[in-house]
Amino acid sequence: MPFTFQRLAIPDVVVVCPERRGDGRGFFAETYRASVFAEMGIVGPFVQDNLARSGARVLRGLHFQVPPGAQGKLIQVVRGAVFDVAVDLRRASPTYGRWVGWELSAEAGDLLWVPPGFAHGYAVLGDGSDLAYKVTAEYRADLDKGVRWNDPALGIEWPLRDPVLSPRDTALPFLAEIGSPF
């Protein structure tokens, strides 16, 4: 099997570990195969691919799109490393308002599946990172929302002090102020 899968404490968030085959020249790894992913409940269609570059100490998030454009994200770091976080925004879920985190790095090659109904964010570890990710719905500015990265009710244990943030991310509302569209 070209992949192993690990469900996190919120079982709908899944770490995907591609098998790497390598030698002195480098390695080869499949990063996505629809039939295998579907068996694990990770289904597309994936309709847009994104690439994000971030410098040292950058924290992005926590972002999500509301229905009808809710996005599932399949995330991979292709340069550097990040601490990646998913927050459950599904009101009927037993894990509503809880978060899980995972370190993604180009060296390890893991991917993270964040399904629709979750807010997503990450903190750059080291000098910088590039993330490549697939999404299940196209970007729509009118559906783009977020939750404050340091909401005390979420209690996310970010590995950075004094992160570099966008003006938008510093002004996002707390979860209690927005409730949940999911």
Rounded Cα gap, residues 67 and 136, in angstroms? 12
Phi/psi of residue 116, nearest 5 degrees = -55, 145
Main-chain phi, psi angles of 66, to 5 degrees: -85, 160
| Residue at 98 is within a domain | yes
- Reading the block at residue 34, the tokens are 């629809």
Answer whether residue 54 is part of any domain: yes
Query: Which residues are known catalytic residues?
Result: 63, 133
- pTM here? 0.96
Kind plus residue range of the DSSP H or E element containing 165: none
Residue 67: give the domain boundaries: 46-178
- Residue 104, domain CATH: 2.60.120.10
**Residue given tokens 């068996």 in the structure block:** 39
Residue 74 lies in a domain: yes
Q: In tens digits, what is the pLDDT along the chain, a chain of 182 residues?
A: 799 999 999 999 999 999 999 999 999 999 999 999 999 999 989 999 999 999 999 999 999 999 999 999 999 999 999 999 999 999 999 999 999 999 999 999 999 999 999 999 999 999 999 999 999 999 999 999 999 999 999 999 999 999 999 999 999 999 999 978 99
Count of structural domains, the chain: 1
Backbone angles phi, psi at 137, to 5 degrees: -145, 145
pLDDT of residue 30: 94
Helix (H) or strand (E) holding 39: helix 34-39
